[in-house]
Amino acid sequence: MPDEIVSFEPATGAELWRGEIGDVTAAVAIAREAAGGWARESQTRRIELVRRFANQVRKQAEPFAELIARETGKPLWEARTEVEAVIGKVEISIQAYGERTGSKKLDSALQGQAGLRHKPHGVMAVLGPYNFPAHLPNGHIVPALIAGNTVVFKPSERTPAVGAFLVECFHAARIPAGVVQCLIGGPAEGRALVEHPGVDGVLFTGSARAGIAINRRLAENPGKIVALEMGGNNPLVVLETPKIADAAVLAVQSAFTTAGQRCTAARRLIVLDSMFDRLIPAVKALAERMIVDEPFADPAPYMGPVIDNETADLLMESFVELISRGGTAILPMRRPREDRPFLTPGLIDSTGIADRPDIELFGPLLQIVRVPDLDAAIAEANATRYGLSASLIGGGPDDYERFWNEIRAGIINWNRPTNGASSAAPFGGVGLSGNHRPAAFYAADYCAYPVASTSMDQPRATIGLGLTEDEAPAEVWMKGSPKE
């Protein structure tokens, strides 16, 4: 077993970072040790500290963005938006904590007081993805800290440098080292962390396969809270619209932003037969114009490489596989450099494929499915075990109303992309996309549990019924029982 994790820049293949694999048991022990003190800190103090964290990130915004761009391969302009999202998360999470899990008085018919307050779970394990190596784990870490939990964060083994940088920003804000830790490791450390009895909750963002494995491992631990943010096979339906150029832009933005490595990326462009000949050439022309290059290139690229060569190999194989099953290449996906994971956007008409595989192909590959009408479009859009995001383009308000009612997904948009979901809204889906613990604005919900209380200053109690009147022992215990 290697005792180090090494990360390489996808764009160049150069080694970027290496670090020793962490000790799961030691990290959990430290987090447990810190948990009591952190939970007892005043709410005001915890909020002050996470605000200070936001300032730290702001101070380091440019080196942070450069590191994200290097380690993921995403364009620098996009890495900068990720850093902004990390900063923005703090105020949103403070507001969400108050709205979703604050304390309140409850109406009480009885004397005394009734109230609702929330408590932290204790030690939270956060398992991060590589596509947003800072923003998505941060979306678990910040709400967890505000609620009073301590955190052991294991970044993806493909993006450990960004994970370590993020945690250094928390420490630079003087959040104690034991309150949030970065645990470097691969799948074995992830498993050990999930199963560790000292961990009270597991907050995961990644593939459905890994999420299901976590769920299985915790099947006999119903007491651990588990939040799974998984993938999608997201549909983008295009009905009649005169705005062809805009529809094409929405399609390529939805499918190819972050080289298609977004859980919310459109995977299936479901288009009316009557729109096909107008829309598809426009989508193709736009996709052909997209610059694919290293993150710091000038002119700036739309897409960088995918995360590694193995992933690029798999995507190229998937493209070929779809063609061999009856798909028609509209724009073949290409790999301009054999040794690096750059991929140009691919478009396949998959209408002719009999059993289209319902899988998440995590890269710049968009399948097109032709349908005769809205009924068929909705049926096709729902033909997936996932249910994260879905968009409708064109049509009228009644079409959107129907689409909204009949589509099974946690994000349903009209004339907007499938991706770019707001941090100020709940973020999650149905089916294989999650376990009904939406993140973003609702992350507060899984970071604390509700405690209902009734209270009085003094014990004061009487029993009004069912007692003898004169304090004599009762002679009849049960109706009909023989008297002695």
Task: Kindly report the backbone phi and psi dihedral angles of residue 306, in degrees, each rounded to the nearest multiple of 5, phi listed first.
Answer: -80, 180
What residues does 196 pair with on adjacent strands?
Answer: none
The pattern of x and - marking residues 134 through 163 that bind ligand UN1 according to CB under 6 A reads: -----x------------------------
Nearer to ligand UN1, 392 or 439 (CB): 439
Do 227 and 435 form a contact (C-beta atoms < 8 A)? yes
Which one of 254, 423, 433, 435 is in contact with ligand UN1 (CB under 6 A)? 423
Is 229 marked active-site?
A: yes
* Binding piece for ligand UN1, criterion CB under 6 A, among 42-50, 188-196, 355-363, 422-430: 422-430
Which one of 19, 328, 420, 430 is in contact with ligand UN1 (CB under 6 A)? 420
Which one of 134, 255, 368, 421 is in contact with ligand UN1 (CB under 6 A)? 421
Closest distance of CB 8 from ligand UN1, Å: 24
Which residue spans within 71-112 are E strands per DSSP?
Answer: 104-106
- Interaction residues for ligand UN1, span 430-459 (CB under 6 A): 439-440
Nearer to ligand UN1, 123 or 440 (CB): 440
Residue in this structure with the two tokens 């560790």, named with its chain if needed: 196
d(CA 93, CA 260) in angstroms, rounded, equals 27
The pattern of x and - marking residues 98 through 137 that bind ligand UN1 according to CB under 6 A reads: ----------------------------------------
DSSP 133-181: TTHHHHHHHHHHHHHT-EEEEE--TT-HHHHHHHHHHHHHTT--TTTEE
Closest distance of CB 349 from ligand UN1, Å: 25
Nearer to ligand UN1, 72 or 419 (CB): 419
Cα torsion angle, 392, 395, 401, 406, sign: negative
Which residue type occupies 144? A
Collapse the DSSP code of 261 into the 3-class scheme (helix H, G, I; strand E, B; otherwise coil) and give the result: coil
* Binding piece for ligand UN1, criterion CB under 6 A, among 106-114, 207-215, 378-386, 420-428: 420-428
* Binding piece for ligand UN1, criterion CB under 6 A, among 192-200, 322-330, 399-407, 417-425: 417-425
d(CA 256, CA 344) in angstroms, rounded, equals 9
Nearer to ligand UN1, 139 or 301 (CB): 139
Helices (H), 243-272: 244-256
What residues does 274 pair with on adjacent strands?
Answer: none
Q: What is the DSSP letter of 482?
A: P
Closest distance of CB 465 from ligand UN1, Å: 54
Collapse the DSSP code of 275 into the 3-class scheme (helix H, G, I; strand E, B; otherwise coil) and give the result: helix
* Binding piece for ligand UN1, criterion CB under 6 A, among 298-306, 332-340, 421-429, 445-453: 421-429
Which one of 150, 419, 433, 435 is in contact with ligand UN1 (CB under 6 A)? 419
Catalytic residue, from 182, 263, 294, 447: name it. Answer: 263
Q: Is 324 exposed, middle or buried (0-12, 13-18, 19+ CB in 10 A)?
A: exposed
Q: Who's near 62: CB < 8 A, 6+ residues apart? A: none
Q: Which of 391, 252, 274 is nearest to 331 (CA)?
A: 252
For residue 239 the two structure tokens come to 């009905």
Collapse the DSSP code of 219 into the 3-class scheme (helix H, G, I; strand E, B; otherwise coil) and give the result: coil
Size of the site for ligand UN1 (CB under 6 A): 11
Nearer to ligand UN1, 249 or 320 (CB): 249
Closest distance of CB 180 from ligand UN1, Å: 18
- Interaction residues for ligand UN1, span 230-289 (CB under 6 A): 262, 264
Closest distance of CB 461 from ligand UN1, Å: 48
Nearer to ligand UN1, 282 or 424 (CB): 424
Q: What angle do CA 290, 294, 299 make, to 5 degrees?
A: 55
Q: What are the angstrom distances between the C-alpha of 192 and each of 125, 187, 345, 354?
A: 11, 9, 38, 41
* Binding piece for ligand UN1, criterion CB under 6 A, among 26-34, 64-72, 415-423, 472-480: 415-423
Closest distance of CB 139 from ligand UN1, Å: 4
Nearer to ligand UN1, 181 or 234 (CB): 234
Task: Kindly report the backbone phi and psi dihedral angles of residue 315, in degrees, each rounded to the nearest multiple of 5, phi listed first.
Answer: -70, -40
Closest distance of CB 389 from ligand UN1, Å: 8
Catalytic residue, from 71, 157, 229, 380: name it. Answer: 229
Collapse the DSSP code of 236 into the 3-class scheme (helix H, G, I; strand E, B; otherwise coil) and give the result: strand
Closest distance of CB 54 from ligand UN1, Å: 15
SS3 sequence, 332-398? CCCCCCCCCCCCCCEEEECCCCCCCCCCCCCCCEEEEEEECCHHHHHHHHCCCCCCCEEEEECCCHH
Closest distance of CB 206 from ligand UN1, Å: 13
Is 447 marked active-site?
A: no
Nearer to ligand UN1, 270 or 439 (CB): 439
Nearer to ligand UN1, 185 or 410 (CB): 410
What positions carry a catalytic annotation? 229, 263
Q: Which residues bind ligand UN1 (CB under 6 A)?
A: 139, 262, 264, 419-423, 427, 439-440
